[in-house]
Chains A and B, each alone.
Chain A
Amino acid sequence: MENSEIVTVKDLIKRYPIGKGEFTALNGIDLTFGTGEFAGIVGPSGSGKTTLLNIIGSLDIPTEGSVVVLGKSIRELNHKQAALLRRKHMGFIFQTFNLLPVYTVYENVEFPLLLLKLSAAEKKKAVMDSLEWLGLTDKMKSRPAQLSGGECQRVAIARAMVKKPELVLADEPTANLDSENSHHILQTMENLNKDLQTTFIFATHDDKVIKYLKRKILIEDGKVSADDVITN
């Protein structure tokens, strides 16, 4: 199933200024991700997983090297072009859900579509489909404060999936969830990956997530120390 390259990372170095010196978060990363992958970047805290995910997600830029996502070089994109790339082709799932607190579930899921200038009917259908995939139709009028952690993360997944993006980046998606909810969420994402051929890239150190991955990339001290394809 995995064929064309969706993300290409070459000689990626990311340094952050710390005081008068610099901290190297990523040091010479080379990776490629194909369409429909269900891959995870794993490693201990501070190893550079989130930094890599942020750069792939065009939320940050490389210090050296190149990252090409869907044919666009992240280094060469300005703020607006990066925003357009995220808007049209990417979905994000965060550890702390990052739902908009004053919006209902429906409005949260609808939000990415508001930026895409779809017709009202198209928006409604997409939101309802997404809510149905995630089993949230009965919660669509609730606000995030009225939901459990698992439900919140399902809303976040629905929001990430509603525009059927080519790429979903999930940063520690199960870190705030119990075991049962984690498995439920991961099964959902696995099904979406199968049904829609969406590429999922996780940043995680959670064993529950790692069990579901089809590819595991281990990062230690800013370097890739292992890249294994898992076959069941």
Chain B
Amino acid sequence: MLSLKLAWRNLVGAGLRTWLNVIVLAFVLFMMIWHYGILDGWNYQANRDMQAWEVGNGQYWHQNYDPYDFFTFEESHAKIPEVLQKAISDGVITPILISQASVYPDGRIQSMLLKGMIPDQKVIAIPSAKLNIESEEIPVVIGRRMAKNCKLIEGDVTTIRWRDINGTFDATEVKIVKVFNCNVPNVDAGQMYIHIEKLREMMQAPDEATMFIIGEDFEINETVSGWEYKDYDFLMTEMNEMMKMKKVGGSFIYVILMLLAMLAIFDTQVLSIFRRQKEIGTYIAMGMTRRQVVSLFTVEGAMHAILAVVFIAIFGTPLLLWLMSIGMTMPAGTDDFGIAIAETIYPVYGAGLIIGTSLLVFVITLIVSYLPARKISKMKPTDAIKGKIQ
């Protein structure tokens, strides 16, 4: 308590020197909270969008299905199992049939995946209802990225070619009835959505599916013969791993910022101990123990971190909240990264992030303050009083 009281007096008395250190430390703290907030916000939005558009609450995959090996697609579809029929009728699970295909926009050829969906499904956010539109050509839905790559717009008619389960190639005209906007490239780039019954007909694979996407209110049965259950965490593994990598990468910046801030604190402490020798000697002469003096100087250093937190609380909070409300607009071209990125990322500041970051800065400041303060315990008070120590 005494150390706190005296440290506060000393810091206030030191004036500008104190506030410069506090501002540097507050800047580091602010940057750490904001940047981690952006990553957490990105993670939150990506999870939310991927769940809404792609993974649902889990999936069943045909036992041969491997999303990274297109050659498995020919063998990875089968009749819908009996145990899932009712759930499909209730709309809590939706089948997807996948086929490799090619599209010929303006005479060019481009590989893609043709995905058959039930138009009335509500499990994922793909606007499949548009597949019910009546048209001379087969109605299809594509995403913004696919439309951009193929230079297609709504209303365009283009040719697609596919192969049925017997290996026979066929081609037809399709009409783009909807170009949807979505932050999840996995459901957009190189993909075209078609009525599942039409695709079954084209592939000569009646009542078949490649996978099922699970919605809410579905009682998960992990053992469906011939199908593998993939839970939400498994389906989000790549995204979560990537976010971890991003955080590790960001940590290097924090380490550099922290080093700069700690250098300022360390420098101030070392300078204090040499410049304030008389003061230290006087403290000892007046009856402070060496331990109390070391504690006073350590608390004085660490109090920079406390003041930085207070500074952030007063001045940084409105700024952080404002940044949270306007978000960070991602630059053009991030669409091509192949990962779920919203056009604007809104940072999320959790209590854990704020308390954790503040504690980290406090503990490091405490250590950096203590190291030079230890020198005080080796001082001879008689020399310190005269300011003789070199």
Contacts and interface: CB of A to CB of B under 8 A. Distances in A.
9 contacts: A79-B289, A83-B288, A86-B286, A87-B286, A96-B278, A98-B279, A98-B282, A111-B286, A114-B5
A101 B278 CA distance: 10
A88 B287 contact: yes
Given A98-B282, A100-B282, A114-B6, A86 B287 contact: yes
Nearest to B6: A114
A59 B280 CA distance: 13
Contacts of B287: 83-88, 90, 112, 115
A102 B13 contact: yes
Most buried by A among B284, B286, B382: B286
B332 interface: no
A86 B289 CA distance: 10
Interface in B1-37: 2, 5-6, 9-10, 12-14
Given A80-B291, A102-B13, A112-B287, 9 more contacts: A59-B284, A59-B382, A83-B288, A85-B287, A90-B287, A94-B282, A98-B279, A101-B13, A103-B9
A159 B287 CA distance: 13
A92 B286 contact: yes
A86 B284 CA distance: 9
Nearest to A89: B287
A102 B300 CA distance: 14
Interface in B258-295: 278-279, 281-282, 284-292
Contact of B281 (A85, A98, A111, A112): A98
Nearest to B377: A79
Given A59-B385, A114-B5, A114-B6, A100 B285 contact: no
A112 B288 CA distance: 9
A60 B14 contact: no
B282 A115 contact: no
Contact of A115 (B279, B281, B288): B288
A90 B284 CA distance: 12
A21 to B, nearest CB: 19
B385 A80 contact: no
B385 A112 contact: no
Contact of A112 (B14, B279, B286, B289): B286
Nearest to A98: B282
A80 B9 CA distance: 24
A90 B10 CA distance: 24
Interface of A: 54, 57, 59-60, 79-80, 83-88, 90, 92, 94, 96, 98, 100-103, 107, 111-112, 114-115, 159
A109 to B, nearest CB: 11
Interface in B366-390: 380-382, 385
A102 B10 contact: yes
B14 A59 contact: no
Contacts of B292: 83
Interface in B301-354: none
Contacts of B2: 114-115
Nearest to B279: A100
Contacts of B14: 102
Nearest to A90: B287
B160 to A, nearest CB: 80
A96 B284 CA distance: 16
A86 B293 CA distance: 15
Nearest to A95: B386
Contacts of B286: 86-87, 92, 111-112, 115, 159
B285 A79 contact: no
A92 B285 contact: yes
Contacts of A88: 287
Given A98-B281, A100-B282, A114-B2, A80 B10 contact: no
A54 B284 CA distance: 12
The 9 tightest CB contacts between A and B, nearest first, are A102-B13, A87-B287, A98-B282, A86-B287, A83-B289, A92-B285, A59-B381, A54-B382, A80-B289
Contacts of A96: 278
A179 B314 CA distance: 53
A94 B385 contact: yes
Nearest to A91: B286
A90 B14 CA distance: 29
A183 to B, nearest CB: 26
B249 to A, nearest CB: 43
A83 B10 contact: no
A54 B388 CA distance: 15
Contact of A79 (B13, B290, B382): B290
A101 B282 CA distance: 12
A107 B6 CA distance: 10
A107 B381 CA distance: 22
A159 B282 CA distance: 11
Contacts of A115: 2, 286-288
B89 to A, nearest CB: 79
A57 B285 contact: yes
Contacts of A94: 282, 285, 385
A116 B279 CA distance: 19
Contacts of A159: 286
Contacts of A107: 9
